[in-house]
A and B are shown apart, each in its own frame.
Chain A
Amino acid sequence: MVSGQKRKIMIDIGFQTIGIISVGLLLLSIVLILFKRTKNYAVLVSSLAVLALSYYIINLWIELHRPPLRTLGETRLWYGFFLSFLGVVLWFRWKYIWLFIYSNITASVFLIIDLANPAALDQTLMPALQSVWFVPHVVVYIIGYALLGMSALIAAIRLLMPLWHREIKFSMEYTDNTVYFGFSFLTVGMIFGAIWAKVAWGHYWTWDPKETWAFITWLTYLLYIHIRIKNPKNEKLVSWILIFSFLFLMITWLGIQYLPVSQNSVHTY
C-alpha cells in the first residue's frame, strides 16, 4: 500500500497535469474555431478536454471514496467540466462561435483558479452530507449555473452591440432557451435540496442564507420569464434582468460566505 503522502502527490500531479492539459486543449480549440480551415477540429479538441476532465473527476471520486462535490474548488471543477461540455453540445445545436469561445474561456478560468489553489486531500464527509441527495442536488445546480451564466453573456452581448454600432443579428430565442433550461435545473435543484433538508434536518425550508439567496435568484429568473410573455418587445429590460439575476446567482454560489449571516448557514464550505 502506498503511504498517505505518496497518494497525495499522485493526486496533485494528476490535477496539475490533467488541469493544464484541459486548459491547453480548451484554449487551443478557441484558436482553432477562429479560422475557417481549422474550425471543424475545434470541437474535437474541446471534446478531448471534456473527456480528460471527466476522467479526472471519476478518478478523484474513486480516490476520495466520496463524491468530489464538497469544497468550492471541487464545485469549480464541475463547473469547468459542464461549461466545456455545454460548449460542445451547444455548438452542434446553434453553431455560435462566441458561445463556444465563452464557455471554453470561462471553463478555463475556473480550472486555472483550481490549479492555483491546490486543495489538500480530505476524504472526510460529515454525516449531514452522507445522503443520496448530495450528488443530484449539487450537480443539478451546477448545470443550471453554467446555463444561466451563458444567458447572462448573451444578454450582455445584446446590450453591448448597439454601443459598438453593430446590429443585433440573433433573436431573443437564445436567452429564452438558456433561461428555460437553466431555470428548470434551478427548480429541480431547489426541490431536491428541500427534500434532502426534510430528511436531514426535519424541515424542508428553513430560510438559511443560501436558501434565501437561491430563492431570490429563482424569483429574478421567474421575473424574466413572465416579462418575456407579457411584454416581448422590451428586450433591453429583460437583458438587464438577466445580468442582475446572474449577479444574485454569484452571491448565492460564491458570495454567501463573505456575508455576516453565513455564520449560521448550513451551506458554508
Chain B
Amino acid sequence: MGFIRQDVSSPPYLLFINIKHSWMYLLAQVYILTTLGLTVIRRFSFKLSNIGFMLNHLGLWILLAGAAFGSGDIERYTMHVEKNNVEWIGADNSGKFHELPIAIYLEDFKVDYYSPQIGIWSESKQKLLKNPSFNLIKPDTVFKWDVYDFEVKQILHNAWFMADTFREAPIPGAVYAAEICIKKDEKPVRRGWISSASSLQQPFSLTIDNDLELIMKPPKAKLYQSDIVVFTKSGIEKSGSVTVNNPFTIDGWKIYQFGFDEKMGKWSTTSVFELVRDPWLPIIYMGFAFLLGGAVFIFINGVGTKKKNND
C-alpha cells in the first residue's frame, strides 16, 4: 500500500502485508461509517445553507458504505478465449474455475504497435541513452546525432533473419528490422541490420564505436483489440469490440481487455478478458456525484461557516 507491498494471499493475521483483510481495516470501516453516519443524522436538513455539508458528508458515507457492503458482492473472473472459439468458463482470484452466465466468442484479436524506435546503448554506462530516440517511419531518412549520421536504408515490419540478411515474412515470431548506414564526417563507418527481439529471434544491434551500440527498442503497443460476440443465459446476443479503456457492457457485466498471449505478440490467437459484475456500482456513482457537487460547493462557497453567520 503506502510503504509495504501487499500480498492478498497471505493470512490476515499478518496485519501489514494484508491490511485490507485485517481486523484493523474492518474496525476502521465500521468506525468511520458509524461516526460519519451519526454526524449526518445530527445535522440532517435540506436547507440551502446546509447543502454543502450534506453533499460532502452524505456523499462520502454513501460511497464508503457502498464500497464496504458491496465489496462482498463483486464478482470478477478472468477468461481465456481462443480465436474462433466460444468460452464460458472463468477463473476467480484463487484460480478456481466457474461456469459463468455469459459466454464469449472471439472473432478476432489484434495488437497494433507504434512505429519502432532506435536508441543508443552505452556499454560503459550500461544503459540506454536518453537521447537520441528516433522514430523509424519510412526509409531514406537521415537522423543526425553527435558526429554521426544514421541513414535508414530499409525498414521491415515482419522480418526474419535468413541466410545473413533480413527478409519480410509475416509469420509468428517476426520482428521489426531496419538496415542502417552509419556515417561519420560524411564517410560510411558501418552498415548493417538492427532488429527487435521476439521469442524466436535474437535482437540485432550495430556497434558504433568502442562504447556505443545502435539498437532497436522493444516495440510499444498502441492498441489491443478483441472483436467478440457475447451470449447470455437469458438469451441476449450482442457483438462488438473490446479495447483497453473501452469495456463491453452486457447484462450487468463489464468485459475488459485484460491480456493476450505475450509470447506470440501480435500473432496471438488468444485474448484474455476480465469479467466484472458489481451490483453496487450505481450507489458508488451516486456517492461520486454527491462529492463532485460538494467539491463545486466548497470551491464557490468555502465550507460555508462564514456565510451562515451572515445569514
Using CB atoms and an 8 Å cutoff, list the residues of chain A in contact with chain B.
3-5, 8, 118-128, 130-131, 176-177, 180-181, 183-185, 187-188, 191, 194-195, 198-205, 207, 209, 212-213, 216, 225, 228-229, 259-261, 263-264
- Cα A9 to Cα B52 in complex, Å, equals 51
Q: How far is the CA of A191 from the CA of B3 in the complex (A)?
A: 23
CA distance A259 to B298 in the complex (A): 33
The answer to whether A127 and B135 touch across the interface, beta carbons within 8 angstroms, is: no
Count of CB-CB pairs between chains A and B under 8 Å:
115
A249 to chain B, nearest CB (A): 14
Interface residues of B in 74-133 (CB under 8 A from A): 74, 76, 114, 117, 130-133
Contact, CB under 8 Å: B303 / A180: yes
Instruction: Assess whether B184 is interfacial by the CB under 8 Å rule.
Output: no
Q: Flag if A5 contacts B224 (CB, 8 Å).
A: no
Interface string of B40-77 (1 = CB under 8 A from A): 00000000000000000000000000010000001010
Question: Could you tell me if B134 and A203 are in contact, using CB atoms closer than 8 angstroms?
Answer: no
CB distance B143 to A5 under 8 Å?
yes
B5 pairs with A127, CB closer than 8 A: no
Which B residues lie within 8 Å of A118 (CB)? 131
Looking at the complex, which one of B5, B20, B221, B223 makes contact with A261 (CB distance below 8 Å)?
A: B5
Decide if B135 touches A123 in the complex (CB within 8 Å): yes
* Residues in A neighbouring B201, C-beta threshold 8 A: none
Q: How distant is the Cα of A3 from the Cα of B245 in the complex, in angstroms?
A: 33
Is B288 in contact with A127, judged by CB distance below 8 angstroms?
A: no
| Complex contact A207–B20 (CB within 8 A) | yes
B245 with A200: CB separation less than 8 A: yes
Q: Is the CB of A4 within 8 A of B141?
A: yes
Complex formed: what's the CA distance from A123 to B133 in Å? Answer: 11
**Measured between alpha carbons, how far is A198 from B5 in the docked complex, in Å?**
22
Chain A residue with Cβ nearest B118: A4
Instruction: Report the stretch among B166-174, B264-272, B289-297 that lies at the interface.
Output: B289-297
Pick from A176, A180, A181 the residue with the most CB of B within 10 Å.
Answer: A180
Asked if A202 and B305 make an inter-chain contact with CB atoms under 8 angstroms apart, the answer reads no
Contacting pair A261 B220 (CB below 8 A): no
**Chain A residues in 8 Å Cβ range of B278:** 203
* Interface residue B154 (Cβ < 8 Å from any Cβ of A): no
CB distance from B116 to the nearest CB of A (A): 11
CA distance A185 to B299 in the complex (A): 8
13 pairs of residues in contact across A and B, judged by CB atoms under 8 Å: A5-B143, A8-B132, A127-B224, A127-B243, A187-B294, A187-B295, A188-B292, A191-B291, A207-B20, A225-B303, A259-B3, A261-B1, A261-B5
CA distance A27 to B292 in the complex (A): 37
> Which residues from A are CB-within-8-Å of B67?
205
Whole-angstrom distance between the alpha carbons of A213 and B284 in the complex?
21
| Interface range for B | 35 or more
A119-B130, A124-B222, A126-B221 known; A199 and B2 CB under 8 Å? no
Q: Tell whether A127 pairs with B295 under 8 Å between CB atoms, given A202-B274, A207-B20.
A: no
Given A176-B302, A184-B299, list of 12 further CB < 8 A pairs?
A4-B135, A121-B133, A127-B223, A180-B298, A180-B303, A187-B292, A187-B295, A195-B285, A204-B284, A213-B2, A261-B2, A261-B5
Q: Which residues of A contact B131 (CB under 8 A)?
A: 118, 120
Q: Of the candidates A120, A127, A188, A201, which one forms a contact with B132 in the assembled complex, judged by CB atoms under 8 Å apart?
A: A120
Question: How far apart sit A194 and B284, CA to CA, in the bound complex (Å)?
Answer: 10
Give the CA-CA distance A201 to B76 in the complex, in Å.
11
Knowing A202-B276, A225-B303, the reply to whether A5 touches B288 (Cβ < 8 A) is no
* Complex-state Cα separation, A183 to B299, whole angstroms: 8
| Chain A residues with CB below 8 A from B117, complex form | 122
B256 within 8 A of A: yes
Contacts of B294 in A (CB 8 A): 187
Q: Tell me, in angstroms, the Cα distance from A194 to B196 when the chains sit together.
A: 36
* Chain A nearest CB, measured from B277 CB (Å): 10
CB distance from B82 to the nearest CB of A (A): 22
Contact B2 A212 (CB under 8 A): yes
Complex Cα spacing A119 to B4, Å: 31
Nearest residue, chain B, Cβ from A259: B3
Q: Is the CB of B6 within 8 A of A207?
A: yes
**List of 6 A-B pairs having minimum Cβ-Cβ separation, nearest first:** A127-B244, A184-B295, A184-B299, A187-B295, A120-B133, A202-B276
CB contacts (< 8 Å) of B20 on chain A: these are 207
Q: A127 to chain B: closest CB distance in Å?
A: 4
Contacts of B221 in A (CB 8 A): 126-127
